[in-house]
Homo-oligomer: A and B are copies of this chain.
Amino acid sequence: MVVARSIALKAVNTASLWGLNRSRFGGLPKVQTVRALSTVMSPPSKAVVYEHHGPPDSVTRMIELPPVEVQENQVCVKMLAAPINPSDINRIEGVYPVRPQVPAVGGYEGVGEVYSVGSAVKGLSPGDLVIPSPPSSGTWQTYVVKDHDIWHKISKDSPIEYAATVTVNPLTAIRMLEDFNTLSAGDSIVQNGATSIVGQCAIQLARYRGIHSINIIRDRAGSDEVKERLKALGADEVFTESQLEVKNVKSLLSNIPEPALGLNCVGGHAASLVLKFLRQGGTMVTYGGMSKKSVTVSTSSFIFKDLSLRGFWLQKWLSADKAKECRDMVDYLLRLAQERKLKYEMELVPFDKFHSALEKALGKHGSQPKQVIKF
């Protein structure tokens, strides 16, 4: 299925300048060579790369990368789709605490079809649908070559756009619902940033388990329509921040118990609103800081209300030997997506329109659905 090929190394000078010793970037010959027929090579790949950290729309560019040898334990995947996540942007900006060494190919999750496999690979064959699980760097390219154990084979019926986006946002939502409190049917949660994909997933995953959700959104034009959309997903209550300018926010709840768990991806005042809803002994988990403002907490919230404040970072959770658990959850989430029990809005964009998708992901055109690159 795969034959040795000789390819014009259009990008080889750049690649060798980078001096990297990894996959496509490392150990490439400086001149075209003829390889033995038994060598399995990837096709050349089109990739979004950055050589320096900085504003993503300035430092990223699309280049062609030369073929690389597919080692006996490796798998070459033809990528089908990959999202632009906020954490991808932070990695390019250089503000993420763990980031690939530059130069690097962007992207951290995605879905593809097995194109070729190394001679020692078992259990994966060309045509299989796979995702990198746990997710890993370098998904913004047409062909990705990685060790076979990175790849998780998923059902061929999985909706591509959900398969491309399942390992970061929905997984974050499910772990936060599981890891901080023991929630049972009839309990409730409260969250800000409820329109984010994590927020939408939290609503649906909670509802699926009989857990109520109280949701806080920004005040802006169209908030009534946003409320309806979130309620259609299963939200019990949706409030704009200004609606919560009352002395006792809990008086606004109709037949919903005070929440034991709060999710915060905004910070500042919106985090204080989550804290106001929490019941005695409750926990607020911070997983984002969209407002770029800190979280402020009164002393009495800690001492007398016994609140706990924690954080969640998927990358840390995944580093704790959770590969198996991660894959079970991916399968579970993709089944829900297939059954339309888990849904969120995405915009599929052709790869050659990457930079316009990036502009949208950077918020340069107002609120936009999740941008998912289609290769």
Residues 325-348 of A, flagged 1 when their CB comes within 8 A of B and 0 if not, give 000000000000000000000000
Nearest Cβ distance between residue A168 and chain B, in whole angstroms? 14
Nearest Cβ distance between residue A287 and chain B, in whole angstroms? 6
Nearest Cβ distance between residue A292 and chain B, in whole angstroms? 8
Residues 282-319 of A, flagged 1 when their CB comes within 8 A of B and 0 if not, give 00011111001011111111111111111111001000
Binding site for B on A (CB under 8 A): 97, 267, 285-289, 292, 294-313, 316
Contact A288 B294 (CB under 8 A): no
Contact B299 A297 (CB under 8 A): no
Contact B302 A298 (CB under 8 A): no
Q: Once the chains are docked, how many angstroms separate the CA of A309 from the CA of B284?
A: 10
Contact A297 B309 (CB under 8 A): yes
Contact A286 B299 (CB under 8 A): yes
Nearest Cβ distance between residue A308 and chain B, in whole angstroms? 5
Assuming the A-B contacts A307-B311, A308-B309, A310-B308, are A289 and B296 also in contact, with contact meaning beta carbons closer than 8 angstroms in the complex? no
Which residues does chain B contribute within 8 Å of A311, judged by CB atoms? 301-308
Which residues does chain B contribute within 8 Å of A267, judged by CB atoms? 299
Name the one of B294, B299, B306, B316 contacting A299, with C-beta atoms under 8 angstroms: B294
Which residues does chain B contribute within 8 Å of A306, judged by CB atoms? 311, 313, 316
Which residues does chain B contribute within 8 Å of A316, judged by CB atoms? 306
Which residues does chain B contribute within 8 Å of A300, judged by CB atoms? 97, 289
Most chain B C-beta atoms within 10 Å of own C-beta, residue among A286, A296, A301: A286
Closest to A280 in B: B316
Contact A294 B294 (CB under 8 A): no
Contact A303 B312 (CB under 8 A): yes
Extra contacts, 10 of them, besides A289-B298, A295-B297 (Cβ < 8 A), are A286-B299, A288-B299, A294-B299, A296-B296, A296-B297, A297-B297, A302-B309, A302-B311, A303-B311, A304-B311
Name the one of B287, B292, B302 contacting A286, with C-beta atoms under 8 angstroms: B302
A-B contact pairs, 11 of them (CB 8 A): A97-B304, A286-B299, A288-B299, A288-B303, A289-B298, A292-B299, A294-B299, A295-B296, A296-B296, A297-B297, A302-B312
